[in-house]
Structure 1
């Protein structure tokens, strides 16, 4: 069977249909380039004028918790999907990804100014049942799905009094759910505490309680290149990871490569990428500067990622965007916890590929073919002109600039 990446777009869609990943309606949607209707778009954002498209691709070879996955990824960056596929294939030979997910709830903050004249803990004990009742009344269906208010604590900072609420949003990411509950609770608390002045109520994007972990165990033989044996590659990858622990400048780029994969899947599934970015970067600090850890155990390279992923599988744009619904169907409708494990696995795969490339051939080698294709498009090449231009650039890589490619394109057209 022809490898997936060697198929044409039409052949890939046909194969996905034959394998049961796509319906006929899904195929039509992809083949016609269908997008948001004007009606849907105008209800999602203000001052709507049209739609902005990004490429949707699939990462194959993923085995996560003993299940095979095709993973939709949306990105404009060349090689992100190829790198994820490459790492996933190596990892699949060694048992795949194993995940653990903690999905406790979302933190919300209700902040007052003033001095609390009563015992805060005692006040919460007295009011907890009423506060839980208010949360249930504000979102009655949430309780039916196992969600709702789970805990409240109180903290004091100078002249601020903060009530921290932990709210389980069930399968939704829950921003609107949490904020609605917070505003209802804030109104009640203000009535009970007239000596305080309500300042604000808002969810927090700091979500260490929504933590996904993925781990892989890769035989070093899977990492070998033509120039370097697998053990040497693994040792260099561990060294590169250790250096990133010490260098803030390198840590930023180390984590950015992980985010390439995480954001691509989050975007494909309609999740809030800004929320994820805020949660992830607030999770990092000087003692914990990296999302991943790599270590050698005998002839195996052990990789682990721990990353907060406050996301959902229903609600908001996830349920509204046709492309997001298509992506979730390809993933076989994971629940929110499963999606967290999937996205963490893609982040870990992205990191493995990046580290292996960096310590062997260098990061640019894998990028060049797609970069040359992009350069050909920038020069104005039509679909049938891209292949000869890329062949030319492979032969003369020093000509990889826009002026030279435009000149070559003119020559090709004159030769027709």
Structure 2
């Protein structure tokens, strides 16, 4: 059968119906995908991995595994948080993130580094009751049975209770939908050093029949909320004005912050810069990046208008003072934190002893990364620093060997055009000299 330049058969269309696909081994799945895609095996060989041990672990983590994806993992330096120094693992594909965070951490050290605090690790599980004939009365009946509901919830996880956690309270809300009125029970759970999704979901499932009986309706959803607004982590830092580049740079950073605070179009990108730092540490430690991101962006809109997560001002000496408060649902037990060997190593390197300590370190990185991005915007423009670091990626993408990368990068930076066509032209010139 004829193959096109891409390798795909010119006569074949992909059939994604694969009965029993999940029963196959990763190698068998990969072979099946190659056959059904119409591609040459070499076209997608990089989907597979030669690391059989990691492949076996991955096969137990998610479904239909054929390989693994490696993300660069760097270590941010210079961080002092609450008087303690940390080496912080960050997993990200984006240039300048680790460098910017490390740079701003070194500036923050001048005035003592980052100071943090955090709430207890409280998560909320929601139980949605539909069809109650008397929603207001149902709400009160549920409160009347609070103790019974909490006892049943805690029967689901005696170890969590033994560790000092467990279901601590309930709240009952009336939520007006477009066509129906819902009675929603919030189970408020201290999850200790876990992220907590499994614990609170299990409790909600167990409570569902009793909630339906008491409320006089039918339970639909019973699942955690990622609006982790009872689990906030807070951070502040003072950045020396001269170390940042002088008073005008400080004023520029404050103007950039004020723009984000006032305009959601700018706030989205401003907060993305914060999440560049936060998500990199969350991912490196095997935590749920989507849960943390959902909670953060929801918090940014808590006032009813999407705005900046961070805040910037000047102290009496003219130094830049940065503060931030963000929901941080992360853990040290369960999930990929305990199954992925790189995540395990990252947690050991970080040396944190509790989920709260991890949360506080993470928000410090987010604030440092945000400050670094704003400083670049205020002082030199984001592209100069970002594209300078991006030049290495471009050199590799152009096909540079290990011996050629540094010269290609230097030429790209000197010429000021960090593009793949320029890198290819420089590479051709270098090789022509040989």
**1:395 and 2:395 aligned:** no
**Partner residue, 1:39:** 56
Q: Distance in 1 between matches of 2:414 and 2:251?
A: 34
Q: Which runs of 5+ in 1 are unaligned?
A: 1-32, 225-229
**Partner residue, 1:157:** 175
Q: Distance in 2 between matches of 1:376 and 1:121?
A: 63
Aligned with 2:389: secondary structure? helix
Answer whether contact 1:328 1:334 (CA < 8 A) is retained: no
- In structure 2, relative to structure 1, the CA distance for the partners of 1:83 and 1:208 (3 Å cut) is same
Q: Distance in 1 between matches of 2:144 and 2:264?
A: 47
Q: Distance in 2 between matches of 1:35 and 1:266?
A: 25
1:114 to 112, 131, 134: 131
**Partner residue, 1:71:** 88
Say which structure, 1 or 2, has more relative contact order (CA 8 Å, 6+ apart).
Answer: 1
1:179 to 181, 185, 201: 201
**Partner residue, 2:326:** 307
- In structure 2, relative to structure 1, the CA distance for the partners of 1:155 and 1:395 (3 Å cut) is closer
- In structure 2, relative to structure 1, the CA distance for the partners of 1:251 and 1:319 (3 Å cut) is same
Answer whether contact 2:235 2:367 (CA < 8 A) is retained: yes
Q: Aligned Cα RMSD in Å?
A: 1.8
Answer whether contact 2:408 2:427 (CA < 8 A) is retained: yes
Deviations 1:362-405 (A, max 9, x none): 1112123322111111111111110111122233224x332332
Relative to the length of structure 1, the TM-score reads 0.87
Give the CA deviation at 1:307: 0.7
Answer whether contact 1:35 1:51 (CA < 8 A) is retained: no
Matched length: 377
Q: Distance in 1 between matches of 2:311 and 2:175?
A: 35
Aligned with 2:221: secondary structure? strand
Relative to the length of structure 2, the TM-score reads 0.83
Q: Distance in 1 between matches of 2:343 and 2:157?
A: 25
Tell me which moved more, 344-353 or 284-293: 284-293
Q: Distance in 2 between matches of 1:160 and 1:36?
A: 48
Q: Distance in 2 between matches of 1:217 and 1:55?
A: 30
**Partner residue, 2:31:** none
Deviations 1:249-270 (A, max 9, x none): 1111111111100000000000
**Partner residue, 2:76:** 59
**Partner residue, 1:209:** 230
Give the CA deviation at 1:412: 1.9
Answer whether contact 1:116 1:161 (CA < 8 A) is retained: no
**Partner residue, 1:414:** 432
**Partner residue, 1:30:** none
